[in-house]
């Protein structure tokens, strides 16, 4: 008799984003607009000070839940920026926001629970919810300008709902919620026995004229809010694997146990790098300007080519609906573009939304212009895609 793997693990599939990325690597001269890996380098001060730290200190295990100085800096960062009243005991350091999300969901979910996920959605949410034996319940925002409304959340809550996950600025849509909408959603959370998990990994990547309003700003739901954030996107620190959870103290202590029995503690050096990020490199405005210029360029270029494009307000993603150009399923459309132009994008199916592609603007503008030229040559010459 063969030993069997876990039933929930069996349900998981390799991410479509990774599948396209692997295919694009087989194609010569391809342009990779798939994964959300910033091409801008980590601020030099973080690298230099971390290298010095490593030369002069023994890297031991960090304390459970994270280095105290980092937890203090994170609490201060949120309190200054979002008018919250957190302290270091509300913060748990994680291995990227990925582990933060995993630990938060593992810590609160029981089999059979439901979690409300806003579609289009970052694929990790459903994978984790499935892994922990719960069920993702989707709210599609295609007809509400890719922004969830409080009434939609209210309508989706059932006695089984354990949590609602918000991700604004949104991957893949690049959209934000207004302060007014966040307040209305907070009222729904306040009226119901549910957690609000706010994945704020793109909170620093917000374009001119827009403002990110965190649910952490709303006093009367703070005990139900689980903030997930990190340094991968704001400070181009993807490989450092450092992020954090902010939550009510008692819940945070439970989550530290989950994390302890999964990863022990995050890398001590990366935590030091994150302290430098918050102390010495807090202003990431220059990088955001670069992302904004690129995202708006892609927005305009794809609109001219006949896509219906969601105007990005933050992040470095652009979501484009191609249904006026082709009726193909998104994976086939993406493979078609890749084979014929060498431009690799992500199929909407990866985010649970067909008829769309996501373009990651993590290449220099000249490379984006080359990608647009190739798409233009292909799309305008082939009427029957």
Q: Does 362 bind ligand PLP (CB under 6 A)?
A: no
**CA atoms within a 13 Å half-sphere pointing along the CA-CB vector of 264:** 5
Selected from 73, 114, 126, 199, the binder of ligand PLP by CB under 6 A is 199
Tell which positions 138-167 bind ligand PLP, by CB under 6 A. Answer: 167
Instruction: Give yes or no for residue 204 binding ligand PLP (CB under 6 A).
Output: no
- Residue 215 is a binding residue for ligand PLP (CB under 6 A): no
- On the CB side of 231, how many CA atoms lie within 13 Å of its CA? 32
Q: Are 203 and 213 in contact (CB under 8 A)?
A: no
d(CA 248, CA 237): 27
Expressed in percent and rounded to 5, the helix, strand and coil fractions of the chain are 50, 15, 40
Is residue 15 part of the contact set for ligand PLP (CB under 6 A)?
no
As a whole number of angstroms, the distance between CA 262 and CA 373 comes to 47
Interface with ligand PLP by CB under 6 A: which range of 94-102, 133-141, 212-220, 257-265?
94-102
| Between 155 and 239, CB nearer to ligand PLP | 239
User: Residue 323, interface with ligand PLP (CB under 6 A)?
Assistant: no
Contacting ligand PLP (CB under 6 A), which of 77, 122, 146, 307? 122
- Local structure of residue 215 (DSSP, 8 states): G
Q: Note whether 273 binds ligand PLP by CB under 6 A.
A: no
- Using the structure block, give the residue that is written with the tokens 């955001």: 288
Is position 232 an interface residue for ligand PLP (rule: CB under 6 A)? yes
The answer to whether residue 130 forms part of the interface with ligand PLP (CB under 6 A) is no
Q: How far is the CB of 368 from ligand PLP (least distance, A)?
A: 19
Write down the least CB distance from residue 87 to ligand PLP, Å: 23
Interface characters, 36-65, with ligand PLP (x: CB under 6 A)? x-----------------------------
Q: What does the alpha-carbon distance between residue 231 and residue 228 come to, in Å, rounded to a whole number?
A: 11
Peptide bond into 172 cis (omega under 30): yes
Instruction: Determine which residue in the list 153, 201, 225, 310 makes contact with ligand PLP, applying CB under 6 A.
Output: 201
Would you say 265 or 341 has its CB closer to ligand PLP?
Answer: 265
For β-strands 114-119 and 135-140, DSSP reports them as parallel
Are the C-beta atoms of 201 and 232 separated by less than 8 Å?
yes
Shortest Cβ 35–ligand PLP spacing (Å): 7
Choices 7-15, 90-98, 185-193, 274-282; region in contact with ligand PLP by CB under 6 A: 90-98
By CB under 6 A, residue 352 contacts ligand PLP? no
Q: Taking the complex as a whole, how short is the minimal distance between the CB of residue 245 and ligand PLP, in angstroms? A: 11
Q: Position of tokens 């291995």?
A: 95
**CA atoms within a 13 Å half-sphere pointing along the CA-CB vector of 48:** 5
Q: Is 236 helix (H, G, I), strand (E, B) or coil?
A: coil
Residue position matching structure tokens 């479509």: 16
* Chosen residue from 97, 259, 267, 345 binding ligand PLP by CB under 6 A: 97
Q: Is 107 in the site for ligand PLP (CB under 6 A)?
A: no
Q: Which of residues 165-184 bind ligand PLP (CB under 6 A)?
A: 167, 171
**For ligand PLP, the closer CB: 167 or 363:** 167
Least distance in Å: CB of 37 to ligand PLP? 8
Closest C-alpha to 284, from 329, 240, 351, 231 = 231
Residue 281: CB atoms within 10 A of its CB come to 18
d(CA 109, CA 194): 11
Residue 360 touches ligand PLP, criterion: CB under 6 A: no
Task: Determine the Cα–Cα distance for residues 51 and 42; give it in Å rounded to an integer.
Answer: 13
CB atoms within 10 A of CB 18: 14
By CB under 6 A, name the binding residues for ligand PLP: 36, 96-98, 122, 167, 171, 199, 201, 230, 232, 238, 243
């Amino acid at each position: 008799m063969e030993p069997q793997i876990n039933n929930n693990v069996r349900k998981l599939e390799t991410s479509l984003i990774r599948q396209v990325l692997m295919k694009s690597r087989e194609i010569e001269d391809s342009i990779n607009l798939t994964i959300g890996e910033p091409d801008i380098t980590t601020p030099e001060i973080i690298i230099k000070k971390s290298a010095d730290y490593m030369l002069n200190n023994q890297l031991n295990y960090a304390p459970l839940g994270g280095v105290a100085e980092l937890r203090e800096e994170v609490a201060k960062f949120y309190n200054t920026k979002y008018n919250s009243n957190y302290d270091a005991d509300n913060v748990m350091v994680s291995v990227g926001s990925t582990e933060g999300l995993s630990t938060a969901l593992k810590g609160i979910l029981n089999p059979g629970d439901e979690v409300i996920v806003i579609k289009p959605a970052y694929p990790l949410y459903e994978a984790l919810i499935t892994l922990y034996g719960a069920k993702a319940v989707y709210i599609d925002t295609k007809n509400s300008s890719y922004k969830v409304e409080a009434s939609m959340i209210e309508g989706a809550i059932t006695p089984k709902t354990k949590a609602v996950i918000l991700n604004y600025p949104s991957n893949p849509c690049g959209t934000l919620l207004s302060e007014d909408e966040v307040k209305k959603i907070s009222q729904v959370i306040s009226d119901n026995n549910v957690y609000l998990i706010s994945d704020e990994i793109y909170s620093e990547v917000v374009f001119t004229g827009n403002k990110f309003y965190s649910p952490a700003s709303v006093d009367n739901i703070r005990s139900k809010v689980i903030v997930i954030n990190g340094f991968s996107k704001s400070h181009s620190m993807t490989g450092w694997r450092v992020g954090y959870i902010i939550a009510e103290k008692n819940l945070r202590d439970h989550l530290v146990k989950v994390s302890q029995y999964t990863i022990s503690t995050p890398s001590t050096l990366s935590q030091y790098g994150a302290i430098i990020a918050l102390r010495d490199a807090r202003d990431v405005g220059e990088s955001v300007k670069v992302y904004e210029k690129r995202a708006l360029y892609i927005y305009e270029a794809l609109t001219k080519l006949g896509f219906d494009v969601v105007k990005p307000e933050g992040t470095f993603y652009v979501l484009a609906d191609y249904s006026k150009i082709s009726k193909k399923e998104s994976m086939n459309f993406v493979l078609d573009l890749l084979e014929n132009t060498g431009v690799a994008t992500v199929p909407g199916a990866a985010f649970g939304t067909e008829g769309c592609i996501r373009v990651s603007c993590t290449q220099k503008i000249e490379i984006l212009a080359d990608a647009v030229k190739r798409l233009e040559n292909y799309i305008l010459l082939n009427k029957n895609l």
